[in-house]
């Protein structure tokens, strides 16, 4: 994976690596994808795992398969290590807010 080429095309990335060295890269979620995710998890907490997978699929850019990320490889990695999603979701949230930080004053 050439991270610099992917960053030129997609901007900042979230990158995770599995124990066996497989790498996945994810771009910042599009507004519609992030809003779909938020709606799903706020409407029904039982949908959180599915909504997380859908957001991951929508933002996956590496490994590449045509114009999209290879969701088959991602699903296989999640089957082998479902906890990868726990590592990924905070990174996607960080990309979605573009480094914004709030505080109570």
- DSSP 8-class letter at 47: G
Q: What is the pLDDT of residue 66?
A: 67
Alpha carbon distance 24, 102 (integer Å)? 29
Mean pLDDT taken over the chain: 89
Could you give all domains of the chain from N- to C-terminal order, each with its CATH number? 3-97 (3.30.2220.10)
The sheet with strand 13-17 has its strands ordered as: 13-17, 23-27, 60-62
- DSSP 8-class letter at 30: P
Q: How are beta strands 13-17 and 23-27 bridged, if at all? A: antiparallel
Does residue 67 register a pLDDT over 70? no
Alpha carbon distance 36, 62 (integer Å)? 22
Does residue 68 register a pLDDT over 70? no
Does residue 104 register a pLDDT over 80? no
């Amino acid at each position: 994976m050439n991270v610099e080429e992917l960053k030129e095309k997609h901007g900042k990335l979230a990158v995770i690596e599995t124990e066996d060295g497989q790498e996945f890269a994810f771009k910042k979620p599009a507004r519609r994808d992030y809003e779909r995710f938020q709606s799903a998890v706020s409407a029904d907490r039982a949908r959180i795992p599915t909504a997380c997978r859908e957001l991951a699929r929508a933002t996956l850019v590496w490994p590449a398969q045509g114009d999209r990320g290879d969701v088959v490889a991602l699903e296989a990695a999640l089957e082998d290590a479902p906890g990868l999603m726990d590592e990924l979701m905070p990174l996607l949230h960080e990309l979605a807010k573009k480094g914004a930080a709030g505080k109570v004053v």
